[in-house]
Amino acid sequence: MKPIRVGICGLGTVGGGTFNLLTGNAEEIRRRLGREIRVEMIAARRTNPACDTSGIRTTADIFDVARDPEVDLVVELIGGYDTARELVLTAIDHGKHVVTANKALIAVHGNEIFEAAAAKGVNVAYEAGVAGGIPVIKAIREGLAANRINTVAGIINGTGNFILSEMREKGRDFADVLAEAQALGYAEADPTFDVEGIDAAHKLTILASIAFGMPLQFDKAYTEGISEVTPEDLKYAQELGYRIKHLGIARRRTNGVELRVHPTLIPESRLIANVNGVMNAVMVAGDAVGPTMYYGAGAGAAPTASAVVADIMDLARSFEHPACAVAALGYAPGELQPLPVLAVDQVESAYYLRLDASDKPGVMTTITGVLSQAGINIEAILQKEVRSDEQVAHIIMLTHSVQESQMNSAITSLEGLEVVTGKVTRIRMDHLN
Amino acid sequence: MKPIRVGICGLGTVGGGTFNLLTGNAEEIRRRLGREIRVEMIAARRTNPACDTSGIRTTADIFDVARDPEVDLVVELIGGYDTARELVLTAIDHGKHVVTANKALIAVHGNEIFEAAAAKGVNVAYEAGVAGGIPVIKAIREGLAANRINTVAGIINGTGNFILSEMREKGRDFADVLAEAQALGYAEADPTFDVEGIDAAHKLTILASIAFGMPLQFDKAYTEGISEVTPEDLKYAQELGYRIKHLGIARRRTNGVELRVHPTLIPESRLIANVNGVMNAVMVAGDAVGPTMYYGAGAGAAPTASAVVADIMDLARSFEHPACAVAALGYAPGELQPLPVLAVDQVESAYYLRLDASDKPGVMTTITGVLSQAGINIEAILQKEVRSDEQVAHIIMLTHSVQESQMNSAITSLEGLEVVTGKVTRIRMDHLN
């Protein structure tokens, strides 16, 4: 069979890794696929010293690749939104298949891109966009395709997981660990995308669409970062048998879908609670299979390239018959359903609450009375070291599941109590059942 | 598109689960696939009260299904070797695709079956045969296809994992927990296949072939059961920071491939060390992606059916163009390499050793001297409660990695020492790096 001719746009970390994997493992790839994957052309603004591209056509203009008649498949690894969108749409328009690692692009412009690809009869693959080298898109779209999927919950941002892991293990605070993560190259100079959960929300948006069969709705995702999490909260959570993880949670409810990224207490007995450092893991629960989990490196040149090249191989397998490939969001044309994403105040969740209260008789009764009146059941209470000079006690409570709007009112009431000092800290909790 | 017409052979636990999943989730399956999967015919010796098969053609003769002109795809769920082999070969001969959950069949007769299928231009899928509902065959054959895979290590027998988990958590002994597992239906009346590692070796054989690109070589797999593991060993291992799991390990070495199932100490910090009860997990490490892990239910009607139906959907996707499907063992025709499986005495491993020795001065020096002379380095030593009446101490040692033949000689020397009482207990250890 004739080789598949690939054009790579972008030769940075992931682009360079992809090029090196395609060339370094060319023989293994050919043995598996039964045909050669050939790098036909590279577009990059500068050379990558880690890559020997001699003998390969290069250009500074990515659009040259998208239009080149000798290129069968365009690999978009430039990142960002607008130019990437234009590049991908141009490639599709020229009848080329596309592989991308760009979650932001897919989460925000995926619906438009997949529609254009379907109209043109080409395929767009994006496994590398979610959880790096872990083949979780494949697991959901194909491996669990017989299931009605109910829950997806994932640690899908390595930077955030590294920071929370270090904070818990060493009692360090957020700013301190963030600075180290930046020095180590785990975090960007502007860490907003990672630590505020935007990157995770991009990935979760994609996971939810392929799990539940709905269009991408990134603008409806609720996002809360980890910058407010304290070493104290991590310690109290641990005392109560929990870990705090920055989790993306998508869950099917009778009246819609929950789509939310926020710090979350999960029982330490759950396997995913023990995923530490920069590693990623995604739990997927289906009605037939029950809970499953997928673990591995969520970023880095080689792991991401592993997913990019697997996508290229998948598309190569159906190159002569593109209709054999899996549909972009895992559902046949016309079969997506516009499930509503629930507003965060409609979400149901258990909670971890921490507050400071006067250390006087009857205070606990007053506080628990407020929750009880709001219909909120308490699962556990922890009262910690009173500072005798200030006569203030830390009170930590775990609640049963309630609707978020209900919890908001209860917190307002708690903060209005004379015996409560300052704000109530609230972290959502999930047993991942 | 016209429906795919499926014939199910066997309506026991997995057959019934498959039928119920195909009918119960028919709409979800149709939405994903864009075509209907229809149960055309069922062969079973008796009805399954959990299944409403009214309106579906049934027969008592499985070969009726394999020959039926209205059946596109035969699902083999009868189990066993000989009849299943004949059934599958008959179905292939009649131009039908085959899906099976039968690891014994694939491990032992897979080479012959895949050859027959390739000659006929049909596909045989077997995801459900390994680790039940976990899509690990798909992960290795497709998701990690760009990698040169180095190690596969898995907890791939739920019964064995349940027994070891209970023994560790509750200090119970093997026979006691086995009896409970039998009462709970986790273990068969004759538990040999599960507890002696034969079932795990079937699965490991399959995993090794698709990971390394070599023919199935079940007869070369080394198999050791868990019936000799004691609660004492589980406890000592834990004190030293390890868990004992019944692991299947396949590892690429310069001179061949290791293929072995045996109790194994693994560091408790490894995620897979924390997979307990009947759950399964498989770790796969590739040169690009690094370590990855796949976790879920390894058995049961619905989880296994999840994998069977996913396979049906995969084959349905390429029904009009069967060549688009992934090759049976993940490598293109003619691309498997006859890698030699190393004999167990050539395997390299670290060890946990436990022995009883006289509690006299100089004994430790004598014992460590034997190991040192054999070129074996000790990583940790634990000396436990001397029974004062017998003047015997338990000595537990962890060694660095050595070739098994070297360890065998050292153990013979240790057992020959006057100060050592009885046999030396030896359990292999793996850091899963």
Which range among A322-326, A392-396, B341-345 shows the weakest confidence by mean pLDDT? A392-396
pLDDT mean over B242-249: 98
* φ, ψ at A110 (rounded to 5°): -60, -45
Q: Hey, is the C-beta of B330 within 8 angstroms of any chain A C-beta? A: yes
Contact predicate B59/B65, CB 8 Å: yes
B144 touches chain A (CB under 8 A): yes
Residue contact A296–B295, C-beta within 8 A: no
The answer, yes or no, to whether residue A385 has pLDDT greater than 80, is: no
User: Distance (Å) from the C-alpha of residue B405 to the closest C-alpha of chain A?
Assistant: 33
Tell whether the torsion through CA atoms of B301, B306, B308 and B309 is positive or negative: positive
CB–CB contact B288 A21 (8 Å) = yes
B17 within 8 A of B302, measured Cβ to Cβ: yes
Distance between B374 CA and the closest CA of chain A, angstroms: 38
Q: Which of B306, B309, B326, B432 to mutate to test the interface with A (most CBs of A within 10 A)?
A: B306
Opening angle at CA B201, ends B270 and B143, nearest 5: 60
Q: Closest approach of chain A CAs to the CA of B214, in angstroms?
A: 11
Contact flag B330-A145 (C-beta cutoff 8 Å)? no
Output the average pLDDT for chain B: 96
pLDDT of residue A30: 98
Which of chain B's residues have a Cβ under 8 Å away from the Cβ of A305? 146, 288
| Amino acid at site B345 | D
Cα–Cα dist B428/B99, whole Å: 36
Are the Cβ atoms of A32 and B310 closer than 8 angstroms? no
Question: Can you tell me the distance from the alpha carbon of B137 to that of B143, in angstroms, rounded to the nearest whole number?
Answer: 9
Place of tokens 């049976």: B328
| DSSP, residue by residue, A17-71 | HHHHHHHHTHHHHHHHHSS-EEEEEEE-SS--TT---TTSEEES-HHHHHH-TT-
Report the share of chain B in percent with pLDDT over 90: 94
Contacts of B107 (CB under 8 A, 6+ apart): B201, B202, B203, B205, B206, B216, B218
- In angstroms, the separation between the Cα of residue A251 and the nearest Cα of chain B is 17
Pull the structure tokens for residue A122: 């080409």
Flag whether residue A296 sits within 8 Å of chain B, measured between CB atoms. yes
Across A168-177, A291-300, A384-393, B239-248, least confident range: A384-393
Banded pLDDT at A387 (limits 50, 70, 90): low
Contact A32 B287 (CB under 8 A): no
Is the predicted pLDDT of residue B85 greater than 90, yes or no? Answer: yes
Statement: residue B305 has pLDDT above 90: yes
For residue B188, pLDDT over 90 is answered with no
The answer to whether B315 and B138 have CB atoms below 8 angstroms apart is: no
Half-sphere exposure of B224 (CA within 13 A, CB side): 15
B303 — contact with chain A (CB < 8 Å)? Answer: yes
From A96, A138, A203, A220, the catalytic residue: A203
Check the annotation: does B9 bind a ligand: yes
Residue of A nearest to B285 (CA): A296
Residues of B in contact with A135 (CB under 8 A): 138-139, 142-144, 292
Nearby residues of A201 by Cβ (< 8 Å), 6 or more positions away: A107, A218, A221, A223, A248, A261
DSSP letter for each residue of A346-393: G-EEEEEEEEEEE--TTHHHHHHHHHHHTT--EEEEEEEEEETTTTEE
Domain boundaries, chain A: 4-133+301-324, 136-297, 348-429
In this complex, which of A142, A148, A327 lies closest to B28 when CB atoms are compared? A148
- The pLDDT confidence band at residue A186, using thresholds 50, 70 and 90, is confident
Which of A35, A146, A313 is opposite residue B21, by nearest beta carbon? Answer: A146
CB of A302 less than 8 A from some CB of B: yes
**A31 vs B213, B291, B296: nearest CB:** B213
Q: Is B103 annotated as a binding residue?
A: yes
Q: What is the ipTM of this complex?
A: 0.97
Closest Cβ opposite residue A146 in set B25, B35, B145: B25
Q: What confidence tens digit (pLDDT) does each residue in B17-70 have?
A: 999 999 999 999 999 999 999 999 999 999 999 999 999 999 999 999 999 999
DSSP conformation letters of B299-315: SSHHHHHHHHHHHHHHH
Does pLDDT of B239 surpass 90? yes
Q: Which of A134, A288, A324 sits opposite B321 (nearest CB)?
A: A324
Q: What pLDDT sits at residue A391?
A: 82
DSSP B232: H
Partner A contacted by B258 (CB < 8 A):
no
CB atoms within 10 A of CB B129: 25
Q: Which of B142, B292, B297 is opposite residue A133, by nearest beta carbon?
A: B292
Q: What is the pLDDT of residue A388?
A: 67
Best probe of the B interface among A23, A147, A278, by most B CBs < 10 A, is: A147
pLDDT of residue A89: 98
CB atoms A34 and B306 under 8 Å: no
Say whether A245 is catalytic.
no
Lowest-confidence segment of A79-83, A181-185, B121-125, B366-370 by average pLDDT? A181-185
CB distance from B27 to chain A under 8 Å?
no
Counting DSSP H helices and E strands in chain A, the numbers are 14, 17
Residues of chain B in contact with residue A302, where contact means CB-CB under 8 angstroms, are 287-290
Tokens standing for residue B164: 């070891």
Query: Token pair of B276, please?
Result: 């307990």
- Residues of A within 8 A of B135 (CB-CB) are 138-139, 142-144, 292
A136-297: which CATH number, 3.40.50.1360, 3.30.360.10, 3.40.50.720, 3.30.1330.10?
Answer: 3.30.360.10
B293, B318, B331: best to mutate for the A interface, most A CBs within 10 A = B293
User: A residues 200-219 near B, CB within 8 Å?
Assistant: 213
Pick from A35, A151, A295, A329 the residue to mutate for testing the B interface (most B CBs within 10 Å).
A295
In terms of phi and psi (left: phi > 0; alpha: psi -120 to 50; beta: otherwise), the region of A296 is left
Q: Is the pLDDT of residue B387 over 80?
A: no
The predicted model gives A293-315 an average pLDDT of 97
Chain B interface includes A147 (CB < 8 A): yes
- B4-133+301-324: CATH topology: Rossmann fold (3.40.50)
Chain A residues touching residue B314 (CB < 8 angstroms): 142
- Order of strands across the sheet with A57-59? A57-59, A37-43, A4-9, A73-76, A97-100, A124-125
* Closest residue, chain B, to A20 (C-alpha): B288
Q: How far apart are CA B148 and CA A30, in angstroms?
A: 12
pLDDT at A360: 84
A-B Cβ pairs (cutoff 8 Å, strict) = 223
Give the integer Cα–Cα distance in Å for B414 and B270. Answer: 31
What pLDDT shows up at residue A361? 84
Please give, one letter per residue, the 3-state secondary structure of A254-270: CCEEEEEEEEEEEECCC
Contact status of B146 with chain A (Cβ, < 8 Å) = yes
Note whether B304 and A301 are within 8 A (CB).
Answer: no
The model's pLDDT over A43-62, given as tens digits with 9 standing for 90+, comes to 999 999 999 999 999 999 99
* Nearest residue to B286 via CA among B224, B336, B341, B330: B330
Judge whether residue B73 has pLDDT over 70: yes
CATH 2.10.70.10 assigned to domain B348-429? The reply is no
